[in-house]
Copies of this chain bind each other. A is one copy, B any other.
Amino acid sequence: MSQNASKTLEFYYDFGSPNAYFAWKALQGVRERTSLNVIMHPVLIGGIFKITNNQPPWQAFANVPNKMKYMQLEIQRFIKDYKLTEFKFNSAFPVNTLLAMRGAIAAKEAGHHETYYPAVFKAIWEADKDISQPEVLAAILIEAGLDGDAIIEATKMPKVKKGLMDATQACVDRGAFGLPTFFLADEMYFGKDRILQIEQAISQS
């Protein structure tokens, strides 16, 4: 494995996962410190849970109050450690992200993914937007300089729908069971709390 290959991180995300947002934000610092190259892969978290027989932690641990409290504590600690002052919990959570994830696939095909995903991540986790609504999503994209209406239209294409399903299945085939999931070379890492280990692994390589 060449040195360059080990410094590319693949990042599987769904906008609906606050932990994916947290990881994306925390990685910005790592990218600056290490010249890490990050490839973002849009997938559907609901699809991953369905295929793998898993469920979101807030559902799995709904009846374990101490675990729920600790997850909140870890979120607060993460926000503090990485100074994520712009975060605002989304009032529509859990948000249906099927439209927005199909839009990410469409934007990727059109070569606009690098503009698309930061705009949508900020809309859902900083500006409290309900991105499940086509007109809301279109407005966010237009504000980011994209052709919002064309992307919304493209989400209806069978090719785009299938593209999201295939990407989700491919993610599961690599071993994922939730998000965010990362691959550094072929080493898999799960969860926002692996950012520290990932940075350590990069620094040591």
A residues with a Cβ closer than 8 A to B are 52-54, 60-61, 63-67, 69-70, 73, 77, 172, 175-178, 187-188, 190, 193-194, 196-197, 200
Contact = CB atoms under 8 A, between A and B. Distances in A.
Nearest to A52: B66
A52 B190 CA distance: 25
A72 to B, nearest CB: 11
Q: Which 4 A-B pairs have the closest CB atoms?
A: A66-B177, A67-B177, A54-B64, A52-B66
Q: How many copies, total? A: 2
Contacts of A172: 66
26 contacts: A52-B64, A52-B65, A52-B66, A52-B67, A53-B63, A53-B64, A54-B61, A54-B64, A54-B67, A64-B177, A66-B172, A66-B175, A66-B176, A66-B177, A67-B177, A67-B178, A69-B175, A70-B175, A70-B177, A70-B188, A70-B190, A73-B188, A193-B197, A196-B196, A196-B197, A196-B200
Contact of A193 (B60, B61, B193): B193
